């Protein structure tokens, strides 16, 4: 993450909604049937894939098809699978929506798919979880200049280290979480902060002493930390933690803070596929007619995922799977 490399919409809109709205328009324009509130409960096969069994509000039904693309996401919201593969993460909350239950992984496994890297689970370091909701505070806040401090007001890590390392550093603080500290200039560059403020996650004050008081942090320590950070930015040398991404001074009031702690965010493991999105068996052979894309797939990111790479993956392999299915169906 040492150079700008994440692709975003030109309008700086939130990327997820941007992609989904675009896709939905295409689905509507092409009159592609879409079934909502149904749950796939089985993938049907007779040597080749022949369709899926679904559970609807009015009972079970079969949808016949010559190919199936699994795009059911990861299993970050499945306590059962987390307990099975990473019991050490049982206590964590998750940034994932409740539908991320790993169904697709289990459905594919039932018909012989190979699973890989199931114990590789990414815990995101900066998640606000003091209310009923869990909010991921994106890298953009740190990328645009925020620092992280502990309960004493001291920095303790290179804020833009990989997610696993920043998580480990926060965990070492002993369960207190940490504070993201930023100023009005960071806020003007990281538009998401307006939303975080709107939902009540941001504490702000006209100066660092008042902010520290509001957080229950020592004011002198926090001011000293920010002075030292500004010095590092000016000298382009962060002696304490070696952060090379400090480009902006924190000097524009009001100052603000968000309390964060780690939470389960992304499951790198899942169904093994090849580069054409075909689902593979244990013997490495594709299951005819079965494809998988997105977070349900395992093995693409390795032990950790770099921010931004999941949506790139879904777009690239979504298209590839569609092209494969088209060719597969016409060959039949
Ligand atoms: C808060 C947050 C922020 C993120 N920000 C970024 C980012 O900025 N950049 C980036 O690259 N990645 C980001 N990610 C990761 C990325 O959003 C996900 O990895 C990606 O959306 C996964 O897409 P998908 O299509 O594989 O699955 P999903 O988007 O999870 O969709 C799967 C769908 O399948 C449904 N489903 C599951 N089981 C069944 C079943 N049995 N029958 C029918 N339907 C089923 C689910 O309910 C869900 O609707 C973020 C994730 C979160 C949680």
Question: Residue 158 burial (CB < 10 Å; 0-12/13-18/19+)?
Answer: buried
What pLDDT, on a 0 to 100 scale, did the predictor assign at position 169? 98
The gap from C-alpha 276 to its chain's centroid, in whole angstroms, comes to 24
Pairing of strands 270-272, 297-298: parallel
- Rounded to an integer, what distance in angstroms lies between the CA atom of residue 310 and that of residue 308? 6
Under 8 Å between Cβ of 39 and 14: no
Residue 16 lies in a domain: no
Helices and strands of the chain, counted as H and E runs: 10, 15
Residue 317 lies in a domain: yes
Q: Are residues 141 and 250 in the same domain?
A: yes
Residue 11 lies in a domain: no
Residue 73 lies in a domain: yes
Pairing of strands 68-70, 286-292: parallel
State the pLDDT confidence band at 226, using cuts at 50, 70 and 90. Answer: very high
What pLDDT, on a 0 to 100 scale, did the predictor assign at position 1? 58
Q: Are residues 198 and 136 in the same domain?
A: yes
Tell whether ligand 1 has an atom less than 6 A from the beta carbon of residue 122.
Answer: no
Under 8 Å between Cβ of 282 and 306: no
Distances (CA, A) of 322 to 275, 299, 309, 325, 326: 13, 20, 20, 5, 6
pLDDT digits (tens, 9 = 90+) for 251-296: 999 999 999 999 999 999 999 999 999 999 999 999 999 999 999 9
User: What CATH number does residue 191 fall under?
Assistant: 3.90.700.10
Q: Are residues 82 and 128 in the same domain?
A: no
Tell whether ligand 1 has an atom less than 6 A from the beta carbon of residue 310.
Answer: yes
Atom of ligand 1 lying closest to residue 16 CA: 17
- Rounded to an integer, what distance in angstroms lies between the CA atom of residue 48 and that of residue 8? 39
**Burial state string for 64-91 with b = 16 or more CB within 10 A and e = fewer than 16:** eeebbbbbbbbbbbbeebbeebbeebee
Give all strands of the β-sheet with 39-46 in edge-to-edge order. 39-46, 48-56, 59-64
Of 263, 285, 305, the position where a domain reaches its end is: 263
What pLDDT, on a 0 to 100 scale, did the predictor assign at position 6? 77
Q: Are residues 172 and 41 in the same domain?
A: no
- Which residue owns the Cα nearest ligand 1 atom 45? 72
What pLDDT, on a 0 to 100 scale, did the predictor assign at position 241? 97
Under 8 Å between Cβ of 183 and 252: yes
pLDDT digits (tens, 9 = 90+) for 126-159: 999 999 999 999 998 999 999 999 999 999 999 9
What pLDDT, on a 0 to 100 scale, did the predictor assign at position 17? 86
- Rounded to an integer, what distance in angstroms lies between the CA atom of residue 165 and that of residue 125? 9
Residue 9 lies in a domain: no
Q: 3-class SS at 70?
A: strand
Q: Are residues 212 and 193 in the same domain?
A: yes
Show the 3-state SS of 176-193. Answer: CCEEEEECHHHHHHCCHH
Q: Are residues 242 and 131 in the same domain?
A: yes
What is the span of the domain harbouring residue 181? 124-263
Residue 45 lies in a domain: yes
Please choose from 1, 16, 36, 78 the residue to mutate so as to test ligand 1's pocket, defined by most ligand atoms within 8 A of CB: 16
Q: Are residues 86 and 184 in the same domain?
A: no
User: What CATH number does residue 106 fall under?
Assistant: 3.50.50.60
Catalytic, 120? Answer no
State the pLDDT confidence band at 33, using cuts at 50, 70 and 90. Answer: very high
Question: Residue 173 burial (CB < 10 Å; 0-12/13-18/19+)?
Answer: middle
Q: Are residues 214 and 312 in the same domain?
A: no
Average pLDDT for 73-101: 97
Q: Are residues 210 and 316 in the same domain?
A: no
What pLDDT, on a 0 to 100 scale, did the predictor assign at position 150? 98
What pLDDT, on a 0 to 100 scale, did the predictor assign at position 10? 84
Atom of ligand 1 lying closest to residue 94 CA: 53
Task: Flag the least confident range among 13-22, 128-137, 232-241.
Answer: 13-22
What pLDDT, on a 0 to 100 scale, did the predictor assign at position 14? 74
Number of domains observed in the structure of the chain: 2
Give Cβ neighbours of residue 228 (< 8 Å, ≥ 6 apart).
Answer: 155, 240
- Ligand 1 center from residue 305 Cα (angstroms): 14
| Catalytic residue of the set 163, 187, 243, 305 | 163
Backbone angles phi, psi at 60, to 5 degrees: -85, 145
Q: Are residues 69 and 190 in the same domain?
A: no
Task: Flag the least confident range among 288-292, 306-310, 320-324.
Answer: 306-310
pLDDT at 8 over 80: no
Residue 1 lies in a domain: no
Q: 3-class SS at 151?
A: coil
Q: Are residues 42 and 105 in the same domain?
A: yes
Average pLDDT for 201-213: 98
Q: Are residues 87 and 136 in the same domain?
A: no
Average pLDDT for 75-91: 97
Q: 3-class SS at 89?
A: helix
Residue 250 lies in a domain: yes
When the pLDDT of each residue in the chain is averaged and rounded to a whole number, the result is 95
Helix (H) or strand (E) holding 258, with range, is strand 255-267
């Amino acid at each position: 993450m040492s150079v700008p490399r994440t692709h975003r919409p030109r309008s700086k809109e939130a990327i997820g909604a941007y992609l989904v709205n675009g896709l939905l328009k295409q689905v509507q324009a092409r009159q592609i049937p879409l079934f909502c509130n149904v749950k796939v409960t089985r993938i049907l096969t007779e040597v080749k894939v022949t369709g899926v069994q679904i559970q609807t509000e009015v009972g079970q039904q079969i949808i016949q098809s010559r190919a199936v693309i699994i795009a059911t996401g990861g299993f970050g919201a499945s306590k059962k699978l987390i307990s099975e593969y990473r019991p050490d993460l049982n206590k964590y909350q998750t940034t994932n929506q409740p539908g991320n239950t790993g169904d697709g992984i289990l459905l594919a496994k039932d018909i012989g798919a190979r699973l890989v890297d199931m114990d590789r689970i990414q815990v995101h370091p900066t998640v606000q979880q003091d209310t009923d909701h869990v909010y991921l505070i994106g890298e953009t806040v740190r990328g645009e200049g925020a620092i992280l401090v502990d309960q004493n007001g001291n920095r303790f890590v290179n804020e833009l280290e990989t997610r696993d390392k920043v998580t480990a550093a926060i965990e070492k603080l002993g369960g207190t979480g940490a504070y993201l500290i930023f100023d009005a200039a960071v806020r003007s560059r990281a538009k998401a902060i307006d939303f975080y403020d709107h939902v009540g996650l941001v504490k702000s004050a006209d100066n660092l002493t008042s902010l520290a008081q509001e957080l229950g942090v020592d004011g002198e320590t926090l001011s000293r930390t920010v002075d030292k950070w500004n010095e590092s930015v000016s000298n382009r040398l962060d002696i304490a933690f070696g952060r090379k991404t400090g480009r902006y001074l924190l000097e524009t009031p009001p100052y603000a803070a968000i309390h964060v702690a780690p939470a389960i965010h992304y499951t790198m493991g899942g169904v093994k596929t090849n580069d054409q999105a075909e689902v593979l068996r244990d013997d490495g052979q594709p299951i005819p007619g079965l494809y998988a894309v997105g977070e349900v797939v395992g093995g693409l990111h390795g032990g950790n995922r770099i921010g931004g790479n999941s949506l790139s993956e879904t777009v690239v392999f979504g298209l590839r799977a569609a092209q494969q299915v088209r060719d597969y169906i016409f060959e039949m």
